[in-house]
Structure 1
Amino acid sequence: MVTHLFFADNSLLFCKVSVYECQQLIDILQLYEATFGQKVNTDKSSIFFSRNTPEEVKNKVMSTLGPMSDSRHSKYLGLPSIIGKSKTEVFTEIKERVGKKLSGWKEKILSIGGKEVLIKQLPKQF
């Protein structure tokens, strides 16, 4: 059974790690390509395995799916593929990036008095 999530022009497809299910997934993608005339970009496509997946099964699935990479060490929409135990560590970078972006936006639209208040609200580490 294939399940899915859609994000704008990105899709996440989930299936069991078996050659049969991966072949079904390929058939679905080929049908999509034939029906809508859009080609799936395998250079931008990747696969993620759970840590319990045996290497032999991974190799079989990877050879079935073709030119896709293992996404264990990549990011998706700016977020890490694997979050792990330390969520604080993982999301600190994102929190800092969002904070800088918001600060930049606030600086552009605030009056001089508003900017002074913003500066006084910044954490001591900045």
Structure 2
Amino acid sequence: MKFYLREKNAIIDFGENIRTRKNLSKIFVGDTVKIGIVIKEGNKERVQYYQGIILSKNNSGINLTISVRKIFQGIGVERKFLLHSPKFESIEIIKSSRVRRSKLYYLRNIIGKGSRLKQRFKTK
């Protein structure tokens, strides 16, 4: 059975529409977020939360990933999350920051008070 390019794209779009989450809030680079991930230990499942600053957003659509950085015991820890993954439980925006870059990789080199970002207030 031979498919044409248009039919292949329609099949891919249909699969992506089924898998994508519709209830995700709008997140931006620089936001401090609390992300819940489902962890399976033996035959039990629980939600583990990870709180940090979004450094970057990569890709789009079903492949959307965010890179989140937190400081744990004085050491910077980064982790990437696939937002449309079945293991992704929830995301809560704790604080929004005003940034002028799309990637905040410069925060890797700054430690302490210098890494603070200015807070963004929602305007109506």
TM-score, length basis structure 2: 0.21
Determine which structure has greater relative contact order: mean sequence separation of CA pairs < 8 Å that are 6+ residues apart, divided by chain length.
2
Higher helix share: 1
TM-score by structure 1 length? 0.21
Q: Quick check: which one's strand share is greater?
A: 2
